[in-house]
Chains A and B, each alone.
Chain A
């Protein structure tokens, strides 16, 4: 393939991979605390709409970005109330959050369809942006992409080097053992849910503030579900999530280009690609049983003390 086509394609890969990366990292934190949150799609789109509306009304993209994160926290907190306070089923609650979030965003978003809001614009990083090829691929984006470069490292440090991260992982692996060690396991699950919700909301905000500056209904387009699958693909490790997000982002970018170039391959087949890959990965990871890194207590309910 011609290098002149390849470099923009790779740059587009980074762009379309970024929202997935935010959401995947969020889901990793949540699942590491032992909570399965299938509401990623709903949380992302509520974040996206919140970000868009705040940016439209205040004109401040940063405020909009954090408002999106806060909206993500709020949505995730609903999940937290159901599964931690009322000991509800995590799968059912997560699915409900997705359906609820999509409906909510599409209902309140309809008046804004087609409007544009101020957002984050790409700029080249000094020095790094001038590196041939690499600079164009990685360092001529908006600030949210640059943040997403640092985020996996920050989360890795949080999970593996801090005491709080250790306790959070222990809660996801063996709540009984963690509780015996004097850890407030429910508090750590709340932490995982809220931190994760923030990242998911930010991932949604990337779509409405940077990827496009427009609002359309169903803006997330299934990216939340890809994030859920990517968590398994990355074996619950933040560093591997980067590769996963860009792999899937690449496939999305390629299929967009192919559609635009008027290929004869049906678009639905192309759209299917990421999910086909997900199934392949799931099969592969079940072969390597025991070493996938799935938190042992993922999806379990913590009964309150007698």
Chain B
């Protein structure tokens, strides 16, 4: 089926040779394959959307194209000639420009100065001349921007326009937008889409990286879906029937692994949220009992983050009830340290879950220190013996308590964090993307550990991988737009089937659709 689509897409876009063609691009970081055998074509005047979850390999792929990373294998062709993009300068020379998610602008300088930064220009410049050229360029693409304004005084949307103008002033033919709408207001998003339309008309090739389905449907001519470092599908946008189809492509249904799971009697209620609101998460009802895994699935950015933060005590709930272990939120977190029964396995391994500059022993003691205390003193010898055993058991390389956290690859760091958190034997575990960026062997281990922990604890699993959710969870909650759309048992086959619809905000179906379904 997917091969058929591929042929279609090539036929559709054969109206010109591609500007850029990627062939068999692979890139690995340590044991993790970030990109595997990726082939794509970028055409003049077309928008290619690169769709995928966080960690799917979108950024790696585009960093290769922008000259920041070198591929392990594969060739990039510019107008069908092989091109070696060994640095960002080379990429700029080849006409490839990237609008980064985090803008690379000098805040203290003017718009015009930023645009001409690094240009090969005469030694002396006149501010007026620069500003005039910027104004002309902006007008050509119907952008409204004051060339003399300081970057620090601009809105996010305007800063993005400056980034685009920077690339245009260097005659970029290929513009890559990395999650461009993440920082924009809805009105600014419209402005961006207008600009992209102008760029298309001017014959530029656009890459639009996103995980927002609606936007991709609105702007893309071709859609490539990336999952776990591989292209799972490429097709013209016209041949995509709905956002639900994209959602199911993005999260995947294939079961990578099978883990044995025994049914478990559920016991004590550990977590109860009712009508909970925190930031964009609204009116959430959620329960987690001892002995079950509840998976929250959904496209990232639909309110999972603030919900987790509220549950883990990092953010005060705006309204509604949140009880942990039968105690109200405030009371529980006032004596959180003494209890030490809640574990948060953060997605942000380098930032939240570990201290980069500390060694593994100190990182281990971050959350387990209460077990290794004697009065004011830490029992480091005992802790070292314990952690050495754990590092061996979890297969962390290097298994050296004196190694510093930054020396470990993402996967190994995650194993260290997991070994630490499981050592505590917590009663409630909040695991956020616990297998993101891990290789297949490590994923299996983590899954087994989670299932083992389920015997003692309740687990709230937040994942954007549907296969993972369905392999592990007893119950599934789907989030969209800050709401929990529905919560149902893993064995409710009808609803499991509808998860992509729910993730795309098409649930429950509107009444006329229901009648249409009934008549059909």
Contact = CB atoms under 8 A, between A and B. Distances in A.
A306 B63 CA distance: 13
B121 interface: yes
Contacts of A179: 88
Contact of B122 (A163, A170, A174, A295): A163
B106 A177 contact: yes
Contacts of B103: 177
B123 A162 contact: yes
Interface stretch (A105-113, A180-188, A222-230): A180-188
B394 interface: no
A145 to B, nearest CB: 28
A178 interface: yes
Contacts of A295: 108
Q: Kindly list the 4 A-B residue pairs having the minimum CB-CB distance in the complex, ordered from nearest.
A: A181-B118, A177-B104, A180-B104, A182-B118
B109 A182 contact: no
A60 to B, nearest CB: 32
- Majority SS of interface residues in chain A? helix
Most central of A162, A163, A177, A183 by chain B CB within 10 Å: A177
Contacts of B474: none
Contacts of A176: 104
A7 interface: no
Contacts of B114: 177
Interface string B333-349: 00000000000000000
Nearest to B105: A177
B422 interface: no
Interface residues of A, number: 23
A75 to B, nearest CB: 28
A174 B105 contact: yes
Interface residues of B, number: 26
B125 A174 contact: no
B89 interface: yes
Contact of A182 (B92, B105, B106, B122): B92
Contacts of B125: 161-163, 166
Contacts of B108: 169, 173, 293, 295-296
Interface string A148-172: 0000000000000111101101100
Interface string B97-113: 00010011111110001
Interface string A98-133: 000000000000000000000000000000000000
Nearest to A180: B104
Contacts of A296: 107-108
Given A179-B88, A181-B166, A182-B88, A167 B118 contact: yes
B116 interface: yes
B494 interface: no
27 contacts: A161-B125, A161-B126, A162-B124, A163-B119, A163-B122, A163-B123, A163-B124, A163-B125, A166-B117, A167-B117, A169-B106, A169-B108, A170-B109, A173-B107, A174-B105, A174-B106, A174-B107, A177-B104, A177-B105, A177-B106, A177-B114, A179-B88, A180-B100, A180-B104, A181-B166, A182-B92, A306-B69
